[in-house]
Chain A
Amino acid sequence: MFVGVLLIAFASCESEPAKQEGIDPVQLMADLHCEAVTLRKARFELADKMRFMEDTLMQPSTSDSSKAVLQFRLTDLEPYKDSVVTRSLDLAKVIKFKLDSLIEREFTEKSQREAFDTQLTVELARRGCN
């Protein structure tokens, strides 16, 4: 089930809707950031899942058969971990490039950046991406 949730999370990130030039910078960054938020949540959920499994593995009361199952499931999660990390890093590079470009070309003044930060924060809250 957890893997299913992850796949749905990935699927929701598949589209990269706002890479075109000329789009409102706030909307562009909000699109990208919302994808990044989804992936971040997937990473933390996966990390929690794995550490809780490891916790159980460490308990003396856990039976050998349960430990074997947990160990198998932990190993089984590794490819998903690699996948979510790779996707996150790839998206991070896109976001960093876009953000650096915006700062260099459009928001050269600190006041402009602060205004951008504020607008972006509002837009992300409106979309529920936080």
Chain B
Amino acid sequence: MLKNKVQFFAAMMGVIVILCSGCERDDGITDSTATSAYSGDFLRNYYDLQCQITKETDGFFPPQAARAFAYMGLTSYESVQHGIPNARSLAGQLNGLSEDVLPFPEDEKSYNWGVAANAAAAEMMRKMFDLNLSEENLEKINRLEEDNYNQVFADNPLPVVERSVTFGKAIAEALYQYSMTDGGHQSYMDPFQLPYTSPVCDYCWVPTDATVNPISPLWGECRPFLVQNITETQPAEHMAFSTNANSDFYAAAMEVYNQVNVNTADQEEIARFWADDPFQTCTPAGHTFNILSQLLEETDATLAKTAVGYAKLGIAENDAFISCWKSKYDFDLIRPISYIRDNIDPNFNTVIGTPPFPAYSSGHSCEIAVGEKVFTEMFTNGGGNYNLSDRTGLQFGFGIRHFSNFTDMAMECANSRFYGGIHYQMDNVEGLVTGRKIGDNVINQISWPEVD
């Protein structure tokens, strides 16, 4: 009898050892359900809310918004990556984020990675909007955190929940500390980075509306997540400025002028669709994050894939705006409307308002190109083909736009700035080139886990 008990016990221990060895990672973390076992649905809700709050919070222009989305993405990933096989922390891979700065889960303790991600995302969102976060929006974040917990994770053992929440919040805090030194900390309080004096020259940017100061002229000095995303992506000098009617530059401006005058109704719609909205945009980066959320939902993405997706896009978007803003202020190129009114037609008007910063290169083109690359890598076999019905504008009275691949999507976004009369084509072409390089860097220069 005793012998049978010993044999049974030994057999059970063997089974347990085999089971544990199947889920053990090099870092010694055991017994936590894999991140891929959770749905990513609850995490997407944070990005929907982030878009809403971006619209309603002062100081969140495109660079600031992209940065906030980026740190949300980093936080989402780091809060769950210990539950993804073969995942590596971004610490040690990103510029300025050393390997020892992020908290580590306790050895031999169980974690619920969904609970950790929920706590981490809520904490980082509060920190990203911080000083300008309204009471109402703070309450929305708190409620989302609580609702997610009650609806998805309430059945978990309390010690596991507490440990996971503590870990998630510690990740958010550590990444927030990292964010404080990147040059964009609380930049929403001073998005125009005043005092700043715009250069004065023939080809230099001049105000195009009542906003006399350009947005974030020093943003190009912010710390990128990958250094090469700035050093290897700056466009060549734009074509030589000239007011001579026979010059290439004059022809480029005339091209904009002619396009605006022959725009079809569909082209005007495209210009407005990608401009998002005059008063309530969550910025171009927000639009691209909305598309990512739709893609994740359509593909029933796990929490692992969801977190990886937001991290990839966040890193790429952040660096896209730094790179693009650097070229904008290095070249400080005059906008088409200013040139055309001075040299071609004083009564020229654009289809949409010209944003208050220099032309070269196009921020929309750069940022959508990183989306093109990330989406192609994550949702296609590499060819970029995907039947996308972009419904993200439906709620604001825009139609559904259909694309058969992500390159078409990016091209239409880039061209929308030309149809709108606010960018020369060279701005868009170079913006796409820059964004695609950044997208490739983020995909290939960072070690990412395989996620389904």
- Which residue numbers of A lie inside 8 Å of B, CB to CB? 29, 33, 35-41, 43-44, 46-48, 51-52, 54-55, 57-58, 81, 84-85, 88-89, 91-93, 95-96, 99, 103, 110, 113-114, 117, 120-121, 124, 130
Contact = CB atoms under 8 A, between A and B. Distances in A.
Nearest to A55: B209
B395 A85 contact: no
B12 interface: no
Interface residues of B, number: 27
Interface string B384-409: 00010101001111111010000000
B277 A43 contact: yes
A90 to B, nearest CB: 11
A58 B413 CA distance: 30
B278 interface: yes
Given A47-B353, A99-B391, A113-B389, A121 B399 contact: yes
B397 A99 contact: no
Nearest to A97: B395
Given A35-B397, A38-B397, A81-B279, 13 more contacts: A40-B398, A48-B353, A58-B207, A84-B279, A89-B56, A95-B394, A95-B395, A96-B48, A96-B395, A99-B394, A99-B395, A110-B387, A130-B269
A57 B389 CA distance: 41
B185 interface: no
B210 interface: yes
15 contacts: A33-B394, A36-B394, A36-B395, A40-B277, A41-B397, A46-B278, A54-B209, A58-B210, A88-B397, A99-B394, A99-B395, A103-B297, A117-B389, A121-B399, A121-B400
Nearest to B389: A117
Contacts of B278: 43-44, 46-47
A54 B298 contact: no
Given A58-B210, A89-B55, A47 B397 contact: no
A36 B210 contact: no
Nearest to B212: A58
Contacts of A40: 277, 396-398
Contacts of B210: 54, 57-58
B272 interface: yes
Contacts of B394: 29, 33, 36, 95, 99
Given A52-B349, A103-B297, A113-B389, A39 B280 contact: no
Contacts of B396: 36, 40, 88, 92
Which 7 residue pairs spanning A and B have beta carbons closest together? A40-B397, A47-B278, A36-B397, A92-B395, A95-B395, A54-B210, A37-B397
